[in-house]
Amino acid sequence: MKYVDEFRDPEFARKLVQRINAEAAHFERPLAFMEICGGHTHTIYRHGLEHLLPENVQLFTVLAARCALFRWGGWNDALWLANQPDVILTTFGDMMRVPGSQESLLQARARGCDVRFVYSPLDSLKIAKKTRIKGRFLCYRV
C-alpha cells in the first residue's frame, strides 16, 4: 500500500521527526493532539514514538473511541446485513469485537459471514472490484 512502506524506512522517519520538531518550534504554547484510533495509539507507544516528539507536543488518548460513539441500533443493522447471503461487509478492525444484541462481527465472521476489516475505505473499493460479486457490498463506517 502506498505511504505505508515509507514509514518503515528509518531515514524517512528521521526526516519526519526533524520536520515535526521544526514545525513545533514555531509555537510557544503546547500543542495537544488527541488520538482517536486505538491502532494509532498502539503504534505510537509500541514503537516509543512519543519520546521522539518535542516537549511542547502532547498526546492524549481518547478512551471513548469510535466504538463507543455509534448508534447501537445501527450496529445491529450491520450485523443483520452481515448475515445476508451474497454480502461482503467491511469495517475497521476496532469495530470487529464490538458486541451487538446477539453477537459481534468477529463472531459472525467465525460462523462464516463474509466480514472483512480494512484500514481505509479505499481498501473496501479494492475488495469490491476484485471480487466482482453479484450480490451486495457494504462498507460499514461509524
List, in order of start, the domains of the chain with CATH numbers.
5-61 (3.40.50.11750), 70-139 (3.40.50.11740)
Q: Give the model confidence (pLDDT) of 32-69 as tens digits.
A: 776 766 677 777 887 888 899 999 888 876 554 445 44
Specify the pTM.
0.49
Helix (H, G, I), strand (E, B) or coil at 75: helix
Q: Give the model confidence (pLDDT) of 104-124 as tens digits.
A: 889 999 999 999 988 877 887
Q: Give the model confidence (pLDDT) of 22-40 as tens digits.
A: 999 988 888 877 676 667 7
Long-range contacts of 62-67 (CB under 8 A, 24+ apart): 62/34, 62/35, 62/36, 65/36, 65/37, 65/38, 65/94, 66/36, 66/37, 66/92, 66/94, 66/95, 66/142, 67/94, 67/95, 67/98, 67/142
d(CA 72, CA 10): 42
Q: Is the Cβ–Cβ distance between 102 and 72 less than 8 Å?
A: no
d(CA 59, CA 8): 22
Say if residue 135's pLDDT is above 70: no
